[in-house]
Amino acid sequence: MVRLQNIDLVFNRGTIDENVLFDNFSLMVNEGEFVAVVGSNGSGKTTLLNLICGTMRPDSGNVMLGGTDVTNIPEYKRAKRIGRVLQDPKMGTCADLTILENLSLADNKNKRYDLRSAVNKQREDYYKTLLERCNMGLENRMGTLAGALSGGQRQALALTIATMSDIDLLILDEHTAALDPKSSETLMGITQRVVSEKKYTTLMVTHNLRFAVEYGTRLVMMHSGKAVMDLSGVAKQNLKVDDILGKFNEISIECGN
């Protein structure tokens, strides 16, 4: 489904601040996999997602999505096939639009626009059905502005929006990081349900090691632009948080920290 081939990426090339992040880096994500990506700051986690989504482009190498080379395809065109939820709850919804209006706009993704109303009242029952899965009562607040919602509610709405259209890939970029513990747990439950029901190929960057262990079918740990841990199957199922902490400590010692 997703393949990064021989990726090179250098920041601030030719300057005193030159930083080689990726050097001949390759990674493949199979269709239907739910990959949790962990690592310290600067390890390449979010950059990895940005390369896949088209927010950044590599200096060399190829990014493949569903067998298509998308390396030089702009971000807005890739967005037709990718749903993305960012860390900031404000980024995935329009604060000055109601829940109904936000969902109506998302419902028009990849469709032709004309002079008809963007809000289709006939689809409201369908939107309510989607929101009922969140167990937050959002289906009864269709006229509420998104900006009036709590962070957890707004992120649940953003996840619903990201998964409404027919996408090939779901990207979760620390989507629980800005939430309180209870809201984070709720959102991860919603995430697991949506991914399982729709069988999405999913990449989730997270700093929550417990979430990385408990959710997903595969775990990848990044460090200095390399995958230093890549576990799936039985190895992933048997993984403990202490195993990840042990690897972090090992890396820290190797780096002289």
At 223, phi and psi to the nearest 5?
-155, 125
What's the confidence (pLDDT) of residue 118? 60
Q: What is the pLDDT of residues 16-60, one digit of tens each?
A: 998 999 999 999 999 999 999 999 888 999 999 999 999 999 999
Q: Is 140 helix (H, G, I), strand (E, B) or coil?
A: helix
Average pLDDT for 131-141: 92
Listed residue (71, 60, 52, 88) closest to 203, CA to CA: 52
Burial class (CB in 10 A: 0-12, 13-18, 19+), 13: exposed
Tell me the pLDDT band of 6, cut-offs 50, 70 and 90. Answer: very high
Give the per-residue pLDDT at 257.
52
On whether the CB atoms of residues 206 and 37 are closer than 8 A, the answer is yes
pLDDT of residue 256: 56
Q: What is the pTM of this model?
A: 0.91
Residue for token pair 């489904």: 1
Per-residue pLDDT for 173 more than 90?
yes
Q: Are 61 and 52 in contact (CB under 8 A)?
A: no
What is the structure's pLDDT at 107?
A: 86
Q: What's the mean pLDDT in 161-186?
A: 93
Q: What crossing angle do the helices spanning 151-162 and 99-107 adopt, rounded to 10°?
A: 20
194-237 tens-digit pLDDT: 999 999 999 999 999 999 999 999 999 999 999 999 999 999 99
As a whole number of angstroms, the distance between CA 41 and CA 39 comes to 7
Is pLDDT above 80 for 252? no
The residue ranking higher by pLDDT, 252 or 105, is 105
Question: Which residues share a beta bridge with 28?
Answer: 3
DSSP assignment of 89-110, as one string? GGGSS-TTSBHHHHHHHHHTTT
Strand-pair partners of 69: 64
Instruction: Burial-class residue 131 by CB neighbours within 10 Å (0-12, 13-18, 19+).
Output: buried
Which residues face 232 on adjacent strands?
Answer: 218
Instruction: Answer whether 204's CB lies under 8 Å from 35's CB.
Output: yes
Average pLDDT of the chain to the nearest whole number: 91
Mean pLDDT, rounded, for 127-148: 93
At 115 the pLDDT is 43
* pLDDT at residue 117 in the model: 55
Give the integer Cα–Cα distance in Å for 230 and 25.
14
pLDDT (tens digit, 9 = 90+) per residue, 97-127?
A: 999 999 998 887 756 655 455 677 778 999 9
% of the chain at pLDDT higher than 70: 94
* pLDDT at res. 40: 87
Q: List, in order, residues 6 or more apart from 116 with CB less than 8 Å away.
A: none
The arithmetic mean of pLDDT across residues 173-177, rounded, is 95
